Structure 1
Amino acid sequence: MYSFAQRPDTLVFDEPLYGAYLKETEAKKYHPEAEQIMESMECDGGKVVDMMLGKHSKEVVFFKNMTHHLMNLDKSFLNSGFNILLTRHPREMLPSFDKVIPNPTLQDVGYAAHAELLSFLQENQIPYAVLDAKKVLQNPQAVLQKLCAKAGIAFEAKMLSWKAGSRSEDGIWAKHWYGSVHASTGFKEYEAKKDVFPEHLLPLLEECLPYYSMLEEEALS
């Protein structure tokens, strides 16, 4: 989202379906500041989709969403745009997630939903690209150039860096999740995590790996 926000032709929206997801699931019981989040945004998923498909002031509109936020929505609306599926190896992602939401489930972290969405896009011939966080960090310019080409937009070198700090588009949940992004000024060089993987997350890791493998095979590099 921060990368695309640097484009002069682009508007960005931070997880517009988060409120609807919280309202309709048990996640409202354990997500930080769930009530405040729901009060801050539209919680009717259908109305959010209408907003996404409506008219906007710039040529390119980037919606950052979590796959599991789509829930039971009619996913046919995804054919109205280009879909970017961003994934990350669960061995690197799960410990970070666990620090904010302890003992997450497969539904919380979204790997199964991500794989299901990939299958849906493929079966319905809906345009998409898959990005793997590691591959992006290893060569951000090359990956973003390929992504923009697939999406039918020009690559902008501005996408490679940004000012440190928050953005006005950030959801009110940013203080819980975006610390490393706010401290960054661009894509950092990839470094494998050296911390010992938490033992209590090993069963979830095993659940996630098959779904991640499906996505990783498709990732641009």
Structure 2
Amino acid sequence: MWSGPRNISTAMMRAFENRADTTVVDEPLYGFYLKATGIDHPGRDEIVAAMTCDWRPVVRDLTTGPIARGRIHYQKHMTHHLLPAVGRDWLDRVVNCFLIRDPAEVVASYLEKRADVTLADIGVREQWEIFERAADRLGRAPPVIEGRDIQADPEAMLRALCAAIGIGFDPAMLSWPAGRRDTDGIWAHHWYGAVEASTGFGPPAPAKAPPPGHEALIEAAELYYRRLRAHRLTGAP
């Protein structure tokens, strides 16, 4: 699942982890991304010290490693972690799905956590590049799902997503116990407060306007977002 930041990506991971047939992994390329870019994120040094920061063994584990339980390996990825140095061939060995959100909302939410934001920080350009590769290989659009659509009608949208990737829908995806998981990244205490308190998908929150000065960034991001949104799933088939 390829998402940008400040979407419902962790809630989606919760939904899949609540299936008995699924193992999840939380942003496995995050350590590599932080070490390679030198960018300052909350808990950066702790994350780099704890994670494998060479993308090659990470990708090997993602594509050939054993799955702890069940038959589905749900990988929560941030698109901006897929830096140009990372090989792309492994993308052809997984089912690629795309979780999107309006860039204006992403920017407004992101700025609540960090002082500044760039197009590279929100990853929507990289999301479109990954989408194009997957579409070329498949000969059709891979699944795209909008966070607000899931929040508005979780069952219908999760049914549609499951159908699109060829697995059965499980009602267990609709709710989960509150709290932190062993599978959460060690950065959870910086970012996951809301999802740790949750027991399911909440309704869409009112859209927040970003502060002035980010119009050019949002316009650039919307170019890719609109392309992706044109392919979004709209409900159970």
1:77 corresponds to which residue? Answer: 90
Which residue in the other structure is 1:33 paired with?
Answer: 43
How far, CA to CA, are the matches of 2:68 and 2:199 in structure 1?
26
Query: How well do the aligned residues superpose, as a CA RMSD in angstroms?
Result: 1.5
**Contact residue 108 and residue 209 of structure 2 kept, 8 A:** no
Tell me, in whole angstroms, the C-alpha distance in 1 between the residues paired with 2:201 and 2:132: 29
1:128-152 deviation per Cα after TM superposition (whole angstroms, max 9, x unaligned): 3111111111211111111111211
Alignment match of 2:104 (pick from 80, 83, 91)? 91
Aligned residue pairs, count: 218
Q: Distance in 2 between matches of 1:48 and 1:98?
A: 29
CA–CA distance in 1 between the matches of 2:25 and 2:33? 16
Q: Which residue of 2 aligns with 1:192?
A: 206
2:80 is aligned with 1:68: yes
2:161 corresponds to 1:147: yes
Percent identity, aligned pairs only? Answer: 38
Q: Does 1:17 align with 2:29?
A: yes
Q: Which runs of 5+ in 2 are unaligned?
A: 1-12
- Stretches of structure 1 that go unaligned for 5 or more consecutive residues are none
Q: What's the offset of the Cα at 1:197?
A: 2.8
Q: Which moved more, 1:129-138 or 1:183-192?
A: 183-192
Residues 104, 209 of structure 2: 8 Å contact kept:
no
The alpha carbon displacement at 1:211 in A equals: 0.9
Asked if 1:172 is matched to 2:186, the reply is yes
Corresponding residue number in structure 2 for 1:2: 14
2:214 is paired with a residue of what secondary structure?
Answer: helix
State TM-score, norm by structure 2.
0.87
C-alpha displacement of 1:188: 0.9
Secondary structure in 2 matching 1:128: coil
Instruction: Give the CA deviation at 1:51.
Output: 0.6
Deviation at 1:102, TM superposition (A): 1.6
Q: Pick from 89, 114, 125 the counterpart of residue 127 of structure 2.
A: 114
Inter-partner Cα distance in structure 1 for 2:101 and 2:61 = 29
Q: What TM-score results when the alignment is normalised by the length of structure 1?
A: 0.93
**C-alpha displacement at 1:196, in angstroms?**
4.1
In 2: Cα distance, 1:93 partner to 1:182 partner: 20
